[in-house]
A and B are shown apart, each in its own frame.
Chain A
């Protein structure tokens, strides 16, 4: 067996130093055995990739995905709206249309589709390490409030707790676990 054949797979995976890869490439062009082996390893890898894809396709989930930041936001929004509708129907003055967050989660979740498994892509480093994730315009959310509701003060505070004529904005941050982690009142 050709001495170079031991490094064929690392070469196919672009894992050899540049000068070594260059030497091996030259050698493969003139060595029928190495060309045959390289083709065999490439085909084997492709078959393995296809097998993995088929295994994934044959697995059916028995329940829907339950997590995504968007779904979390939608769930929180839905919960807030439900509380408002159920417990405060008479005192609710206005509720705008559903927020972009509440309207969008299914599209975001189910558009999370295939990164195709292509060996040639991998060898060309098309799937380079993700170093600095950037905001995607299509998946960004507006910075303004998703929803603004008006609640009578006496529905939230004991009588007399808020001076007459005073209004304020409550800014609530929701943690990843769905619980409020910060409440800030602004006049």
Chain B
């Protein structure tokens, strides 16, 4: 039969359709996850790797019939745990420095506003460095819109502890930033 054509259909969209839910979530959750990870101290490249790993894990989780309950919390929990593997970067710590790029971002504002903003951010950076790891992580997850219960699930601490920690951390920042 040599020379006879064999139609070869490759339905790649079947793969894509199965991943469609994960892709929609990826669009919605990518930036909050990146922001959380970068603020934890990871570089952007490391954060992107962690986010990609988390979504690959989500794909496997959903493909394997895993629960769709609170996927946002699931993603943050996985990303948080994987970020721990980047311990060296993690130690760089959020608020550790205000680098030149950070300054140039503020330069886009009017001079007076830029000075005020820089000063506020310097105070905030200094105040953040005085927080404990748990306080910082609770505030970061709160900033991304997680409820206290969800934060507790990500950090594996009781919800009541999250409430106390957030309360303490916000009061510390307010006091040190004179807000």
| CB within 8 Å for A56 and B174 given contacts A70-B23, A151-B5 | no
Contact with B along A44-69 (1 / 0, CB 8 A): 11011111111111111111011111
Q: Which chain B positions have C-beta within 8 A of A80?
A: 10
CB within 8 Å of B: which A8-64 residues: 9-10, 13, 15, 40-41, 43-45, 47-63
Q: How far is the CA of A67 from the CA of B33 in the complex (A)?
A: 15
Q: How far is the CA of A122 from the CA of B5 in the complex (A)?
A: 59
Q: In this assembly, does B78 line the interface, its C-beta being within 8 Å of a C-beta of chain A? A: no
Q: Is B112 an interface residue (CB 8 A)?
A: no
Q: Which residue of B lies closest to A16 (CB)?
A: B163
Expressed in whole angstroms, the Cα–Cα distance for A171 and B101 within the complex equals 50
Chain A nearest Cβ from B55, distance in angstroms: 7
A159 at the interface (CB under 8 A from B): yes
Interface size range of chain B in the complex: 35 or more
Contact A69 B59, CB 8 Å, known A15-B163, A48-B124, A131-B68: yes
Say whether B10 contacts A147, CB under 8 Å.
yes
Q: Which A residues are in CB contact (< 8 Å) with B105?
A: 54, 57-58
A160 to B2, CA, bound (A): 8
**Residues of the A chain whose Cβ atoms lie less than 8 Å from the Cβ of B166:** 9-10, 13
Please report the C-alpha to C-alpha distance between residue A17 and residue B140 in the assembled complex, in whole angstroms: 23
Asked whether B120 is an interface residue with its Cβ less than 8 Å from the other chain, the reply is: yes
Interface check A82, CB cutoff 8 A: no
21 A–B pairs (Cβ distance < 8 Å), ordered by A: A9-B167, A10-B167, A13-B166, A15-B147, A44-B170, A56-B34, A69-B23, A73-B12, A139-B20, A141-B13, A141-B16, A141-B17, A143-B17, A145-B13, A146-B12, A148-B9, A153-B4, A159-B2, A165-B4, A167-B4, A176-B19
Would you list the 9 A-B pairs with minimal beta carbon distance, nearest first?
A: A69-B19, A127-B145, A67-B52, A154-B2, A59-B44, A58-B102, A44-B174, A133-B21, A164-B1
Whose C-beta in chain B lies nearest to the C-beta of A168? B6
Give B126 Cβ to nearest chain A Cβ, in Å: 11
Residue from B8, B25, B68 having most chain A Cβ neighbours under 10 A: B8
Set A15, A57, A111, A151: member contacting B6, Cβ < 8 A: A151
Instruction: Please state if A47 and B2 are interface contacts (CB–CB under 8 Å).
Output: no
Q: Which residues of B contact A122 (CB under 8 A)?
A: 142-143, 145
Asked whether A162 lies within 8 Å of B6 as measured between CB atoms, the reply is yes
A135 CA to B17 CA, complexed, in Å:
9
Question: With A52-B39, A73-B16, A162-B1 as given contacts, are A112 and B31 in contact (CB-CB < 8 Å)?
Answer: yes
Docked-complex contact A54 and B12, CB < 8 angstroms: no
Interface: B38 (CB within 8 A): yes
Please judge, given known A-B contacts A55-B38, A176-B56, whether A146 and B1 are in contact too, CB under 8 Å: no
Q: Return chain B residues, CB-CB under 8 Å to A45.
A: 142-143, 170
> Is the C-beta of B66 less than 8 angstroms from some C-beta in chain A?
no
Cβ contact within 8 Å between A112 and B27 = yes
Whether, in the assembled complex, A174 has its beta carbon less than 8 Å from a beta carbon of chain B, the answer is yes
